Amino acid sequence: MEVAKISSKGQITLPVSVRKKLKLKSGDQVVIQEENGRFYFDNAALVAFIRAEQAFDGAAEAAGFADEQALQDYVLEIREETEGE
């Protein structure tokens, strides 16, 4: 268990061990979520990435791509077409 002190301005300094576990560095943002009266801290960038990944889940299949390789081939094709623009 780690303990953090709250300053008179309401600021909290996260202990180094917590920052390392959350993969946080200076300037990073933290998401604070409440669930059943408990608060959870998480790395905002990682949360955003996971949510984006979940939002796109199944999109390639719905667009008619047979597998990941077919999607990657299409992306490479588009890049080659637009390189000269």
Which range marks the domain in which residue 41 is found? 16-82
| Structural domain contains residue 5 | no
Can you tell me the distance from the alpha carbon of 28 to that of 41, in angstroms, rounded to the nearest whole number? 12
**Among 27, 62, 61, residue whose Cα is nearest residue 45:** 27
Predicted confidence at residue 63, as pLDDT, reads 87
Contact 47, 24 (CB under 8 A): no
**Residues of the chain whose pLDDT is less than 70?**
84-85
Predicted confidence at residue 81, as pLDDT, reads 86
Phi, psi for residue 12 in degrees, rounded to 5: -120, 135
> Which tens digits make up the pLDDT trace of 61-77?
888 888 888 888 999 99
Contact 14, 23 (CB under 8 A): no
- Read off the pTM: 0.54
Q: How many domains is the chain built from?
A: 1
| Structural domain contains residue 26 | yes
